[in-house]
Chains A and B, each alone.
Chain A
Amino acid sequence: MNSTWSRFNITSIVLGFAFLYLPIVLLIVFSFNESKLVTVWGGFSTKWYVSLFHNQGLMDATWVTARVGVISATVATVLGTLAAITLTRYTRFKGRVLFSGMVFAPLVMPEVITGLSLLLLFVAVGLDRGFVTVTLAHITFTMCFVAVVVQSRLVTFDRSLEEAAMDLGAPPVKTFFQITLPVILPAIISGWMLAFTLSLDDLVIASFTSGPGATTLPMKIYSQVRLGVTPEINAACTILIAVVAVGVIIASIANKRREIQRQLDERAAQRG
């Protein structure tokens, strides 16, 4: 493998990373700006972080987002896991192709359409728009992502584990909770985290399906930006980025550690 750093390589890496991260770096830098003007540097300060915690509107929106995220991710994980199990295990029922297509369609469905159709549904059944409707909408569109993640794990799942459990006297339900679930748990957790992140992130569907008193953080930020960007928003976004980054870093370190430990164990086992 050729690993020399040619000028071309360096240029493309710098440009690539700048393209990806320059906006985010700018946002973080200006969140520490003393000046009220977003684009003019007026010295270092953390005052916007302090004022952020006194901005009731933003704090409420954060709380709503967190609750919507946790509830919708949890429900979506349960439903998505069930769908994945059905699709991998019962490969012969009638209409399976149609069913699996329908489960995965929301993956590629434009969010505007999902949002609009959900709005029409909620209006038709007379459900007042608010916390419940946003949560329901988020369950709907994140469920298929969970199903994809869990299904990819189930495809490689060794069915003889379940047979062994039943052979040793565990009825099907017990087998599921004592064997299947613990083994596929990492995939289910990834699915939950993906669903939570998607819910946290969503602006379009939330805008369609939310109502008074249930403004999510992305909606709040978007509406405030329309009135002019304040450094306070920058601060809020920086915190959001920090939370996500820390989560990702912890997850990948834990993963890497497990992998190394596993390799060490296996080498030790081979030696006897």
Chain B
Amino acid sequence: MKSLGSIRRDFSPWNDPNAKPYIQFDKVTKKFGDFTAVNNLSLTIFEREFFALLGASGCGKSTLLRMLAGFEEPSAGRILLDGQDLRGIPPYKRPVNMMFQSYALFPHMTVEKNIAFGLKQEGMPGPDVEKRVAEMLKLVKLEQFAKRKPHQLSGGQRQRVALARSVAKRPKVLLLDEPLGALDKKLREETQFELMDLQQELGLTFVVVTHDQEEAMTMADRIAIMDKGEVMQVATPAEIYEAPASRFVAHFVGNVNMFEGKVAEHMTSTTRITGATGAQIVVDNGSNAAAGSDIIFAIRPEKIKVSSKKPADAVNALEGEVYDVAYLGDMTVYHIKLDDGQIVRASALNASRITEDPLTWNDRAWVSFRPDAGVVLTR
């Protein structure tokens, strides 16, 4: 049997030009009065994909989900599901189901009745409903709670009921609105993996809305980073982190150091940058920025090495002074104030128990990184 990881690695329909898109947002705009929640947005999601919409609150991600569910109609543009235009189809006729942030469990019904609700609406015969409900209860490991009412359950159990109820009808697409937002940290981490297993097991397409980048990175095949009603970048978690398309994305996901500068020289794959204060940086990352153009060089803290002496083989090395040290146990975070005044954040994994090169406040220090460690951003 293939492991989940290898299935995931093989799954990349977005790289296949012949792959048929499953959900398509085609130049969708949504306005509430004067406020534009979603602005001329196009997005493609593939079948069986675990897709995450990531952004701060008010970026339009929930509106996008609600348009897919049918609670809002786009002001302009189309939404296609499996080739069918969804315009004008009311929520109760769409082949998608949603798991709500508040769970929205029906308080006057037992767990069993909650799960059976959707099945009864489509007129499934009684014995089949019972069978499916039992199946769902087993799936979320709540067999012995079938007769309980929602208020008799803990937060984690309620979350699982909500999940069982939303997948009971075997929807074409499952929409999840901050599915783990109400759980505590430990339970959230466990549930992330449960959700991923469930998605593989049922073979459904998941679209999840979240503001938690770790959650999105862990679970999703691809992530769309959203801001002010627009998509900033759609890519796999690794691409988003290692090759952000813009300053916004680089800033939004994880920590990052940014250097402003100009392209001094551009060769086939190498770019030489002159920083604002004259420092030279060589980047070997296939950027297409033309010589003379203003750019931003972005590099993650864990890709920067801190040492007390200039490493002999370093292509990129800048000198400064230790400004701050934060020992976090598994790693140490250094803030180095470069001689031009900029503060650089670098993190070092504490692989051995005793560091051979202990740096402390106000020590002179060098930061160095490989030419392929960072990216050049033009916007």
Contacts and interface: CB of A to CB of B under 8 A. Distances in A.
Interface in A152-178: 158, 160-161, 163-171, 174
B154 A163 contact: no
Contact of B100 (A164, A268, A270): A164
A160 B102 contact: yes
B224 to A, nearest CB: 22
Contacts of B71: 163, 166
B165 A168 contact: yes
B205 to A, nearest CB: 16
B122 A164 contact: no
Interface in B48-73: 69-71
Interface residues of A, number: 23
B104 interface: yes
A182 B109 CA distance: 10
B92 A182 contact: no
Q: How large is the interface on B (under 10, 10 to 19, 20 to 34, 35 or more residues)?
A: 20 to 34
B52 to A, nearest CB: 20
B110 interface: no
A266 B101 CA distance: 20
B277 interface: no
A183 B107 contact: yes
B154 A182 contact: no
A236 to B, nearest CB: 40
Interface string A248-272: 0000000000000010011011101
A166 B117 contact: no
A167 B92 contact: yes
A196 B126 CA distance: 41
B98 interface: yes
B211 to A, nearest CB: 18
Contacts, number: 76
Contacts of A174: 121
Contacts of B121: 168-170, 174
A179 interface: yes
Interface string B85-116: 00000111100111011101111100000000
B107 A169 contact: no
B118 interface: yes
A164 B105 CA distance: 8
Contacts of B100: 160, 163-164
B152 A266 contact: yes
B157 interface: yes
Contact of B154 (A160, A161, A269): A269
B91 A167 contact: yes
Contacts of A268: 152
Contacts of B169: 168-169
A160 B102 CA distance: 8
B104 A164 contact: yes
Contacts of A171: 90, 92
A158 B152 contact: no
Contacts of A179: 106
B314 interface: no
Contacts of B107: 161, 183
Contacts of A165: 106, 117
B121 to A, nearest CB: 3
B138 interface: no
B153 interface: yes
B309 interface: no
A174 B70 CA distance: 17
B151 interface: yes
B157 A170 contact: no
Contacts of B105: 164
A168 B118 contact: yes
Contact of A166 (B90, B101, B153, B166): B90
B106 A269 contact: no
A160 B104 contact: yes
A160 B100 CA distance: 7
B157 A167 contact: no
B98 A164 contact: yes
A167 B151 CA distance: 22
A135 B276 CA distance: 86
B104 A163 contact: yes
Nearest to A181: B108
A269 B118 contact: no
Given A168-B165, A269-B151, A269-B152, A158 B157 contact: no
Nearest to B152: A265
Output the residue of A161, A269, A270 with the most chain B CB within 10 A: A269
B175 to A, nearest CB: 9
Interface in B309-355: none
8 contacts: A163-B98, A164-B98, A164-B105, A166-B71, A166-B92, A168-B165, A169-B169, A265-B149
Given A158-B104, A164-B98, A166-B91, 9 more contacts: A163-B69, A163-B71, A163-B100, A163-B104, A166-B92, A167-B70, A183-B107, A265-B152, A269-B154
Interface of A: 158, 160-161, 163-171, 174, 179, 182-183, 262, 265-266, 268-270, 272
* 3 A-B pairs with the lowest CB-CB distances in the bound complex, closest first: A168-B118, A169-B121, A164-B104
